[in-house]
Amino acid sequence: MAQHAENDFVGMNCGIMDQFASGFGKKDCAIALDCNTLEYEHVPLEMRGLKFVIANTNKKRGLVDSAYNQRRSECQQALEILQQHTSVENLCQLTVSQFDELSSNLSGDVLKRARHAVRENGHVREAITALKRGDMVRFGQLMNASHTSLRDDYEVTCPELDFLVERAQQFPGVLGSRMTGAGFGGCTVTLIAENQVNAFVETLGKAYEERFGLRADFYVAEIGDGARDSLSLLSKLVRKSATQ
């Protein structure tokens, strides 16, 4: 219902990741979600002295008016072309090697958008494997690779996002950093050693404000359960109120 409201009322052709994570989050776990089938798996996320720090660029954006919907359309164009040469229902059914063999059928921006979708899916699959073996170093490297693809092939970053990510990737104790969300502004997420968080926030915050005249907001994320716990509490409060 939440995705339907965004797609058909607001007019933004978003997926279901945010809504799903809000409802099905589990403490100390990542969610491996197939957005096509909605099959999912909770993958243990062992932080061991690490933290995720979210940095909000505070750059104003309007996703409905941005190129977000255009990116979705370009991916659909790529899929329709590739379906003339192979039997797939979505781009992410292709492996990277399969896509490379078919990529000569695509060109320009359509090629770049499809290449991002397929390779990013590969990043996610490898990230799941890394988490299952507790390899946070590799997980961080995949975060970096993801941002590069989002910047160069999907082209949904912006100078503010790229600045924060590039500075973060150079900061002591950082394993990985990338933009998060739909892009064109919004936030980055950085995997960093817990003992470097305060220095990270102070240093990047100052550098960002000097460069863009904007003040970034920083949040140290904790991995908790989804909204069902809050809904359960609300339900109890409603029942209690009704009996008084």
Active site residues: 18
The CA-atom distances, in angstroms, between 201 and each of 51, 90, 219 are 12, 40, 9
The token duo for 18 is 């945010």
SS (H, E, C) 89-121: CCHHHCCHHHHHHHHHHCCHHHHHHHHHHHHHH
CA–CA dist 83, 76 (Å, integer):
10
CA–CA dist 200, 70 (Å, integer):
35
The CA-atom distances, in angstroms, between 65 and each of 30, 62, 98, 107, 130 are 31, 5, 34, 25, 37
CA–CA dist 30, 223 (Å, integer):
8
- Answer positive or negative: Cα dihedral of 160, 163, 166, 172: negative
